[in-house]
Amino acid sequence: GKYPLAQRIEDKKRGIGRQRYPFAVWVLTAAMIGVMIYELVYNDKEQGNPFSFKPVVNPMLGPSSSGLIHLGARFPACMKDVSAIPVDTQLACPNNTANPVTRVCDLEEVCGFGGFHSQTPNQWFRFITPIFLHAGIVHILLNMVAQLTVSAQIEREMGSGGFLLTYFAAGIFGNVLGGNFALVGLPSTGASGAIFGTVAVTWVDLLAHWRYHYRPGRKASLDGLMRLSFADSPVQLAWMIVELLLGVAMGYIPCKLTLNLPLAHLGGFLMGLLVGMFFYPVISVTKQHKGVVWGFRLVALPLIIVLFVVLIRNFYTTDPNAACPGCRYLSCLPLKLNQVRCLPRCQTRN
């Protein structure tokens, strides 16, 4: 609000935000590419190949599941006591390439990071580290395309400070929600939750600036890439709904390819809406509009705190599946295609 309202509206229509370049997105992308290179080097050292083909093929062209766990993927058994995966569980070592498994390691060794020192697993940082890890080259390419388009534009509009708070709040909350209700036997990685948080901010932008939205139809990733052009905001909203549904549906690929992602997507999107509502620079022409915006912000702030506190407490102190038995199916649909490998995991409790 440091320059005239009319100029702010004109800049909004032209797509001009608080800053010219998305520096934070560039740094995050470079860091994630560097981590991906390290993942491949690590798997090559362990298995003699940067890509895991034995005993199970990683279709994302990346490390083995054990390797991903060792590198910091979200894996509840490394973060707390999990009845289905006790501390004395023997898992395939990161260097195992045989089926049946010939090289086994205890859970503490697979989790790495110095182990648990004969105490309860409590690697809480696995709510954060998965944001920088990816399951493979295919996975990171998909995420970085979205990050360099949608997330970059959101950073230009919000500024790096508000963007980073929204990005990491969404990414961490996606892992908190997934840690509560996703499959416990599969590692989860990726910046998808954080990126979905920035997608949610495009909804805040569209709904708050309905009348004078710039470049209708080009707001979200596919729109920007395909250079679609729609005449009004209602059509753009319809397309964004379809795009959101497609993004969530991508998590329901057959079980042997699953990345444990739908809950991270949903959690990231929800937190992106709340935090984005608080930090996004909304232009208010009338006092009524300004009052509505601040009303939403005053509701969003306690919701953010409550959601984080309740779900983190729930993760560490209770059996989440007891409170929501059907939530496991948000990560694994019990379809005939998935019955052999996926359904047993769907039935596994924390």
pLDDT digits (tens, 9 = 90+) for 284-341: 888 898 899 999 999 999 999 999 999 999 999 877 666 666 666 666 655 554 444 4
Please check whether residue 316 lies inside any domain of the structure.
yes
Q: Is residue 256 part of a domain?
A: yes
Q: Residue 344: pLDDT band by 50, 70, 90 thresholds?
A: very low
Tell me, what DSSP letter sits at residue 77? G
Cβ–Cβ contacts within 10 Å for residue 344, how many? Answer: 13
User: What average pLDDT does the structure give for the chain?
Assistant: 81
Residue 183, domain extent: 5-26+130-346
- Residue environment code for 187-198, b if the CB has 16+ CB neighbours within 10 A, otherwise e: bbbbbbbbbbbb
Instruction: Note the pLDDT tens digit of each residue in 175-216.
Output: 999 898 887 888 999 998 999 999 999 888 888 877 665 444
**Is 18 within a domain?**
yes
> How many structural domains are present in the chain?
1
* Inside any domain, residue 207: yes
CA distances from 329 to 178, 198, 262, 268, 349 (A): 12, 25, 10, 18, 12
- Cross-strand partners of 300: none
Asked if the structure places residue 48 within a domain, the reply is no
Q: Is residue 197 part of a domain?
A: yes
Return the minimum-mean-pLDDT range out of 165-169, 268-272, 318-322, 339-343.
339-343
Domain presence at residue 33: no
User: Is residue 22 in some structural domain?
Assistant: yes
